[in-house]
Amino acid sequence: AGMAMAFAREGSGRVALSFIGEGGSSLGEWHEAINLCAARRLPAVFCVQNNQTALSTPQADQSAVRVFADKAIGYGIPGVTIDGTDADEVAATFAWAVERARAGAGPALIELVCMRMCGHAHHDDMLYLGKDPQASWEYAQLSEQGYANPELYAFWAARDPLALYAARLEADGLLGPGDVDRMKSEVTALVEAAARAVIDAPWPSPDDAGRGVFAGEPPRVRIDVLDPAVRTPVDYAPGLPAVEDAPPFDRTGKTFLEAVMLGVGDALRADPRVFLYGQDVGGQYGNAFLLLRPLLAEFSDRIMNSPLAEGAVLGVCVGAALAGQRPIGEMQFNDFVATGFNQLVNNAAKIRYRWGGSVPMVVRMPWGGLRHAGPYHSQNTEPWFYRTPGLKIVTPSTPADARAMMASALADPDPVLYYEHIALYRDPRVKQLLGDAPPTPIPIGQAALRRAGDDLALISYGAFVHVAMRVADRLAKDGIEASVLDLRTIAPIDRAAVLRVARHCSRVMIVHEDSRAGGIGESLAAIIQEEAFDSLDAPVRIIGALDTPVPYSPPLEHAFLPSEDEIERAARTLLAY
């Protein structure tokens, strides 16, 4: 679907083809893909190879339809069922469907009825056929131990397309005596040569295991942080980094919400490949928070509504990015990403590592509590993806950063999850004056010191950076000076900045809105205690939300989230340790 979206936007005349078995067509992602292509009349052709058995599950257990092409009517597209062993019929049907799609009529569904004449995979041959088959140009004989249906197997074996089509070509005079045997010999030699090349190829170097997660990064390796060779060059008494030079907060400035909108507008104006795709983003609406409404008049053709299907949104982004576009996908609330999890974790995150493909996509993730919105509109999903190699995660906390980090996210050659905290959208305390011109992008992976102090390091991200700043101001009234480090990016973490403030202050408190168990805080604490243990004067503290779902009731949410009073008490206890 994403490839088809890219081809449609380019006007290239190309058509995307999708092939899947009848079992795979039960997946929700397949439904989402064909439905969105039909809704937008994208140039795509969907093929269901109905081979009678999904691994071992028979067709009747997959669907109650008479034929799978009958499903097409539910999407408002044509569907045809043909003999999947008739080469001419297959060629003619695909030519019709491709010409139709290229003319702008949208997708068609083609069902090829045939049968799988071997196991689901090589390891399944013995179970399916009852014995391991030998390499041959003829189908293997079934034994009684196999689970393949004997009657169906016999019927389809008699329709071997290679034998039948060769006989037809010979009868038409297109193949002469010995031509079929000659072609079989040539193909056998090609396969044997390719197999021999694989057998003779050396195994990859173990060093390659850590290569290719992100573009341009050095190989990932294990480091023994207690090795004297690693410890010797470490500066265990570093000074603090400089406090980030940033616009002051100004109630006449731009809100966080406006800054995100400006960042999206900058990208749309700068690069025609950029488009935005998500639920309720286009038309006259402009997203659930009206964030995109100022851009609709100028970019109505590039801010597009999706069906209510997160897997479709993310799948379009993956495919379009692979085809050279620069998509911005929007999750209406970051909680909803759960239904598109596979596209992010198993596709977007792994494509570069698996085969070197580049997936330059941005997913906007409105997130967070502090709004009494309950368990399905307030979650912190960033830990779900923090441990997924191949995904970058940014969490700007100020309007200036929100705009500048949108630019860096869109320039990145890898998938970036852009978390924008809803509680900051219209917070009048968090407004900054921003220029008309697009800002200089902020490098992904670079933390910002917001406040300098020697007594305690407060480390946070997102909305709780501002909570940490207010707690630091309270402590300062008693002469306690705390540093506040805004992580800004949580994948990859700015380890150097984290360790520098930890070693300088010797007491560290990590504060975040997310639940503590399995969260970013526990991961950071492990890094600090392992690599800066000698510099610590107290245990690393982690302050997070309760390990429960996010409550809806205001007093319950107040108890669920760490309050400023609670964080201040914990800080004073840590200082007294």
Which helix (H) or strand (E) segment holds residue 162: the answer is helix 161-171
Whether residue 228 lies inside any domain: the answer is: no
Asked if 303 and 155 sit in the same domain, the reply is no
How many structural domains is the chain composed of?
A: 3
Question: Which of 377, 404, 432 lies at the terminal end of a domain, its last residue?
Answer: 432
Q: For residue 310, how many other CB atoms are within 10 A of its CB?
A: 25
Residue 365 identity (one-letter amino acid): M
pLDDT of residue 499: 97
Q: Would you give the DSSP letter of residue 178?
A: T
Asked if 64 and 192 sit in the same domain, the reply is yes
**Alpha carbons 494 and 505: distance in angstroms, whole number:** 17
Question: What is each CA distance from 493 to 115, 143, 443, 487, 523, in whole angstroms?
Answer: 51, 58, 12, 7, 10
The gap from C-alpha 188 to its chain's centroid, in whole angstroms, comes to 41
Domain interval for residue 495: 450-575
466 has catalytic annotation: no
pLDDT of residue 472: 98
CATH code for the domain in which residue 181 is found: 3.40.50.970
Q: Three-class SS of residue 555?
A: helix
Whether residue 275 lies inside any domain: the answer is: yes
Asked if 83 and 161 sit in the same domain, the reply is yes
Asked if 412 and 493 sit in the same domain, the reply is no
Q: What is the mean pLDDT of residues 62-67?
A: 92
**Alpha carbons 46 and 108: distance in angstroms, whole number:** 6
Asked if 128 and 66 sit in the same domain, the reply is yes
Residue 224 identity (one-letter amino acid): D
| Region of 390 on the Ramachandran plot (φ > 0 left; ψ -120 to 50 alpha; else beta) | left
Question: Which of 432, 459, 489 lies at the terminal end of a domain, its last residue?
Answer: 432
Average pLDDT of the chain to the nearest whole number: 96
For the purposes of burial, counting CB atoms within 10 Å of the CB of 429, is it exposed (0-12), middle (13-18) or buried (19 or more)?
exposed
**Alpha carbons 394 and 364: distance in angstroms, whole number:** 10
* DSSP, residue by residue, 405-451: HHHHHHH-SS-EEEEEEGGGTT-TTS-E---SSPPPPPPTT--EEEE
Asked if 293 and 177 sit in the same domain, the reply is no
Closest CA to 250 of 421, 423, 399: 399
pLDDT of residue 135: 87
Asked if 487 and 345 sit in the same domain, the reply is no
Q: What is the mean pLDDT of residues 394-422?
A: 98
Relative to beta strand 274-278, strand 108-113 is: unpaired
Asked if 343 and 402 sit in the same domain, the reply is yes
The answer to whether residue 52 scores a pLDDT higher than 90 is no
Two structure tokens written together for 267: 């990208």
Two structure tokens written together for 429: 């305390």
Cα dihedral sign, 48-53-57-61: positive
Whether residue 165 lies inside any domain: the answer is: yes
The answer to whether residue 263 scores a pLDDT higher than 90 is yes
**Alpha carbons 567 and 474: distance in angstroms, whole number:** 11
**164-172 — which CB contacts under 8 Å span 24+ positions?**
164/85, 165/87
The answer to whether residue 190 scores a pLDDT higher than 90 is yes
Q: Contact, 80 vs 110, CB < 8 A? A: yes
Question: What is each CA distance from 396 to 172, 324, 362, 497, in whole angstroms?
Answer: 69, 27, 14, 16
**Alpha carbons 71 and 182: distance in angstroms, whole number:** 43
Whether residue 204 lies inside any domain: the answer is: no
Question: pLDDT per residue over 66-109, tens digit each?
Answer: 899 999 999 999 999 999 999 999 999 999 999 999 999 999 99
Q: Contact, 449 vs 402, CB < 8 A? A: no
Relative to beta strand 482-486, strand 456-460 is: parallel
Q: Would you give the DSSP letter of residue 243?
A: B
Q: Contact, 15 vs 101, CB < 8 A? A: yes
Q: Contact, 451 vs 505, CB < 8 A? A: no
The answer to whether residue 239 scores a pLDDT higher than 90 is yes
Whether residue 361 lies inside any domain: the answer is: yes
The gap from C-alpha 60 to its chain's centroid, in whole angstroms, comes to 34
Question: pLDDT per residue over 267-281, tens digit each?
Answer: 999 999 999 999 999
Sheet of 16-21, strand order: 16-21, 44-50, 108-113, 79-83
Whether residue 444 lies inside any domain: the answer is: no
For the purposes of burial, counting CB atoms within 10 Å of the CB of 7, is it exposed (0-12), middle (13-18) or buried (19 or more)?
buried
**Alpha carbons 56 and 48: distance in angstroms, whole number:** 17
Band of the pLDDT at 370, cuts 50, 70, 90? confident
Two structure tokens written together for 559: 């108890």
Relative to beta strand 57-58, strand 53-54 is: antiparallel
Asked if 415 and 454 sit in the same domain, the reply is no
Question: What is each CA distance from 507 to 262, 462, 512, in whole angstroms?
Answer: 38, 22, 17
The answer to whether residue 348 scores a pLDDT higher than 90 is yes
Whether residue 227 lies inside any domain: the answer is: no
Asked if 268 and 131 sit in the same domain, the reply is no
Asked if 290 and 362 sit in the same domain, the reply is yes
For the purposes of burial, counting CB atoms within 10 Å of the CB of 446, is it exposed (0-12), middle (13-18) or buried (19 or more)?
middle
Whether residue 206 lies inside any domain: the answer is: no
The gap from C-alpha 320 to its chain's centroid, in whole angstroms, comes to 13
Question: What is each CA distance from 174 to 88, 181, 186, 323, 525, in whole angstroms?
Answer: 14, 14, 18, 39, 73
pTM: 0.95
Question: pLDDT per residue over 293-307, tens digit each?
Answer: 999 999 999 999 999
pLDDT of residue 121: 87
Of the residues 31, 377, 466, 504, only one is catalytic, namely: 377
Q: Contact, 263 vs 407, CB < 8 A? A: yes
**Alpha carbons 369 and 46: distance in angstroms, whole number:** 41
Asked if 423 and 489 sit in the same domain, the reply is no
Closest CA to 110 of 7, 22, 3, 12: 22
**Alpha carbons 58 and 324: distance in angstroms, whole number:** 39
**Alpha carbons 333 and 341: distance in angstroms, whole number:** 14
Phi, psi values for residue 414, rounded to 5°: -120, 165
Question: Which of 174, 199, 224 lies at the terminal end of a domain, its last residue?
Answer: 199
CATH code for the domain in which residue 459 is found: 3.40.50.920
pLDDT of residue 236: 83
Question: pLDDT per residue over 137-188, tens digit each?
Answer: 999 999 989 999 999 999 999 999 999 999 999 999 999 999 999 999 999 9
Longest dimension (CA), the chain: 100
**Alpha carbons 516 and 277: distance in angstroms, whole number:** 33
Q: Tokens 């999206």: give the residue.
A: 264
**Alpha carbons 370 and 551: distance in angstroms, whole number:** 11
* Rounded (10°) CA dihedral 49, 51, 55, 56: 150
Two structure tokens written together for 78: 């044509």
